[in-house]
């Protein structure tokens, strides 16, 4: 069983700048990149597939996660996974266009941003 790390041990690992992945527990890992920055990774299995998701960067500043905040976020994501929701797929979902009717398809096609999404927009 992997040894669980505390905040003091994580800071010591960052000072060493040794790249690697270190287990925190419950699928949460602390990863140090080759550059020496630390970030949180959650490993989980859904639909018999092993997945990894970056939760956030380690730190005390705004937008960064401490050990306690990363643990809470991991628990929330694990609750979604238990309900059968894949968080990686959910991140991609809002960027997908919802087309229900032929009119929706025509409006989507005639929008100005079609050139960004289609290789040959001049061909209907």
Q: What is the pLDDT of residues 33-87, one digit of tens each?
A: 888 889 999 999 998 999 999 999 988 777 788 888 899 999 999 999 999 988 8
CATH class of 7-117: alpha beta
pLDDT at 55: 92
**Domain boundary assignment for the chain:** 7-117
Q: What is the pLDDT of residues 72-103, one digit of tens each?
A: 999 999 999 999 988 888 887 766 667 778 88
Tell me the whole-structure pTM to 2 decimals: 0.68
pLDDT at 51: 92
CA distance 95 to 38: 28
């Amino acid at each position: 069983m992997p040894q669980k790390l505390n905040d003091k041990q994580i800071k010591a690992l960052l000072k060493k700048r040794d790249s690697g992945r270190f287990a925190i527990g419950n699928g949460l890992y602390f990863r140090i990149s080759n550059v020496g920055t630390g970030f949180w990774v959650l490993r989980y299995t859904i639909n018999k597939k092993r997945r990894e998701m970056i939760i956030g960067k380690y730190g005390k500043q705004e937008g960064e996660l401490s050990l306690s905040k990363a643990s809470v976020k991991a628990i929330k994501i694990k609750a979604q996974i238990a309900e059968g929701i894949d968080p990686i797929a959910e991140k991609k979902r809002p960027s997908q266009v919802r087309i229900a009717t032929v009119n929706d398809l025509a409006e989507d096609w005639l929008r100005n941003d079609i050139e960004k999404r289609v290789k040959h927009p001049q061909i209907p």
